[in-house]
A and B are shown apart, each in its own frame.
Chain A
Amino acid sequence: MVKNPYQPINAHIVDVIDESSTIKSFVVKPDEPIPFKTGQFVELTLPGEGEAPFTPSSSPNQSDQMEITIMKAGRVTSLLHDCKKGQPVGIRGPYGNGYPVDTFTGKEVYIVGGGVGLAPIRSLLLTLIDRIKDFKRVVCRFGARTPEDFIYKDTLFGQWQKIGGLEIKLTVDKSNGQWDGNVGVVTTILKSDDVDIQNAVAVVCGPPIMMKFASMDLVEKGFKSEDIYLSMEKNMSCGIGKCGHCMLGKYYVCKDGPVFTLNQIKEYPDIWD
C-alpha cells in the first residue's frame, strides 16, 4: 500500500527548555525513530490546531528523540509555547535536502547565524563536531539582539568554546552592560576574518534581512555564490512538493531546499521576502 505522506507519526513532548524570552526548545519523542539528515525539516502538528515546519536542532545521530527549537511567531508557535511535558504531538517528515556535509570535507566551514536561525545550525554544528578533524576549521559568527537573546547559552558560552578547530565569535545588537564582546549586527564581525576563500564554504541561517546582508558581504569577501548555502524560509503546507505554497521561482523550497546555494536562487526577485 502507498504510504500516506499526510499521516503524522505520533509523538510526545518529553522536555521543554527555555532558551530566551521568545524561544523554547522542545524535546520530542516519536513512537518510531525518525532518521533525518542535518538541515532537513519536519512538519510538527499540534493536534487539532495546526502544523508548522521546523528544522530539528539536535544531532541526526540521535534518532530516538529530536529537539525542535521554536520561536513564538504566530498562532501555532504560540500554542506550542504553552505546551508542557507529556503533550502529544505529530511529526511528518523529514523533508527537504539538508546540508551537503560530505562535500565540506577538507574545507573551511564558515557559518553565519542569527536568532532562531541557530536551530538548524546547531544540528549542523553537532554533526561537524563529531568529525571536526575532517574539516580545515569551522568558524562560527553568530549574532543576537541582546546577550539574553542567544539560545543554547550553555554550550555556546561553555563547551563549544573549548573545542579545537571550532572558532566561535559572537556579537549583539545591543549590550546589557556586562557584555565584553562585540556590539553590532553580525555582518560587522565578518569583514576582519581571514578566510581561505578558494577552499571554503559558507552557511547562512537567520532572519531574512540578516541572510541578505550576510550573503552580500560574503560575496564581497570573495565567496563564490555556489559556495554559499542558505536555508530558505517560505510559507509551507504539504512539505512534499505538491501544494505549491513554498514556490521560489521554479523551485519547491520544501523539496529542492530548504538549503540552496546563493547561485541557484539569486536571479529571483523575491528571495528575501
Chain B
Amino acid sequence: METVFLSRLKPLFDVIAGQRELYIPHHEEGHFSFARYNPQLHQEIAFNELRLCQPVKQFLFPLREIAAVFPDPVESPVVKPFAVYGLKDCDLRSIQVLDKVFAEEEFCDPSYLKRREQMLIISSDCYNPAESCFCTMMDGDVFPQQGYDLNISKIKDGYIIQAGSDKGLMLLKENESLFADVPHAAILERDDNRAQARRQSEEILTDYQFDVPVNQIVNNGCESELFDNEAKGCVECQACTRICPTCHCFYLYDEKQDDYYQKMKIWDSCVRLDYATVAGGENPRKLLTNRTLHRLMHKFVFFLDRYGIQMCVGCGRCIDACAGESNIRDVLKKLYDEPKTENNQKLKNGKKSIPTD
C-alpha cells in the first residue's frame, strides 16, 4: 500500500486530532504511557522506541463498563472516533487476540465492536526491544506486519508513513499536500533500523533458542515440579493478568440504580483464589500451583488450539510488572531445559502441595 514521507508529525496529527480523540505516548519516569493529544498545547510528539507500559486493551475492553440496563434496555453510549499512536507489532497482535474472543465468535460483544470500529490504529516500528521482550519467539516481529491503519517508521530526518488499510489510505489521500515522496535512501535507512532492532532482540534472546514450538514445551511440561516453585514466587497480586494486553477474563455483576438495574462487566483474573469456586466451596484450582499452570496453559496451549493464533504476544509486560519472582519467559526456558523424565503424576491427580489458603 501507499507509503509517504513526512518531516514532522505535527501537521498530520493536528489533522487527525481535528477528526477524533488522539492518544499519543507520553514519557514519564522512564516509561511511556498514553496521553490525550491537544494540538493547542504544542506537546512534543515522542517516538516511543519500545511498547508503552499500558496495554492497548484499555481502549477496547475497559476495566469496568455497563454491559446491560434493564428492565428497559437502553442503547449503549455512542463511542466517538478515536486514534491511538505508538502501538507496536505486539500490541497489534494483542488486538487480534481480543478480536477472536469479542468480535468473531457466535456472540459478539457490542461495546467492543463499537470501539473497535471507531478506532484508528497508528503503529510504529520498535527500535529498542526491552530486556523482557520475546515477541520474535511468539510469531511477532520488531515492526508491524498487519492490523494497522497507518504505520510510522522514524528515520533521521523524518518519518515514513505506510497505510495498512483503506481507512489509512484514505487519510493519506485526503492530506496529500502534507507528504513528500519517500527517498530511496529513507527506505534503506528504515530497513537498517529494523535489522538493527532484530539483532538487538536476537541478542536478548540468545539463551532462549528452542527447537520445539512453545505450545509443546508448555504442554509437555504441564506436570513439572517447576510450577510449585512458580507458585512460591507468586504473591497473587494479579498484576500479570491486568497488564497483559491479551488477558480478557471478566465477570458480570448486578447493581440496582434508582429506578432500574444494570449488569456491569469488570476485569477479573484467573490468578484470584475464588475465580473458579462453585457453590459449596469446591474449587478445581484451589492451589496456586494449579492457577499458575492454568494461566500458562491458556496462554500457550488452549488459545492456540482453539483460535489458531498465539495468545501470548511476547511483550514482556508481565515480567516487568511482577511483584514476586515470576518470569514467563524463564518458565518457558526452564521447562524446555528440564530433563524429559517420566514426570511425576502429582498435578494430574490434583495433588500439588502448596496450600495457599
- A residues sitting closer than 8 Å to B (CB atoms) are 1-8, 10, 45-51, 73-74, 77, 88, 90, 208, 233-235, 237-238, 240-245, 247-250, 255, 269-271, 273
Contacts and interface: CB of A to CB of B under 8 A. Distances in A.
Contacts, number: 125
9 contacts: A5-B109, A7-B73, A10-B70, A45-B254, A234-B284, A235-B278, A247-B276, A248-B284, A269-B290
B278 A234 contact: yes
A245 B306 CA distance: 16
B23 interface: no
B71 A10 contact: yes
Q: Which of A240, A243, A269, A273 has the most CB of B within 10 A?
A: A269
Interface size class of B (residues with CB under 8 A): 35 or more
B105 A241 contact: yes
A6 B69 CA distance: 9
B79 interface: no
B255 interface: yes
A5 B298 contact: no
Given A233-B278, A237-B251, A90 B70 contact: yes
Contacts of B249: 243-245
Nearest to A208: B282
Interface of B: 67-68, 70-71, 73, 76, 101-102, 105-110, 113, 248-256, 261, 263, 265, 268, 270, 275-280, 282-286, 290, 294, 297-298, 301-302, 305-306, 347-350
B348 to A, nearest CB: 5
A245 B265 CA distance: 13
A242 B109 contact: yes
Contact of A88 (B71, B251, B256, B298): B71
A271 B251 CA distance: 22
Contact of B68 (A7, A242, A248): A7
Contact of A8 (B70, B76, B276, B306): B70
Contacts of B71: 10, 47, 88, 90
A203 to B, nearest CB: 21
Q: Which of A2, A208, A244, A271 has the most CB of B within 10 A?
A: A244
Given A238-B250, A242-B102, A48 B349 contact: no
Contact of A4 (B76, B248, B268, B298): B76
Contacts of A48: 254-256, 261
List the 8 shortest-distance A-B pairs measured between CB atoms, nearest first.
A48-B256, A73-B279, A270-B284, A6-B67, A273-B284, A244-B249, A240-B107, A250-B302
B108 A250 contact: no
Nearest to A75: B279
A271 B290 CA distance: 13
A176 B284 CA distance: 35
Contact of A243 (B252, B263, B350): B252
Contact of B285 (A73, A242, A270): A270
A234 B276 contact: yes
A4 B101 contact: no
B347 A73 contact: no
B282 to A, nearest CB: 5
A45 B263 contact: yes
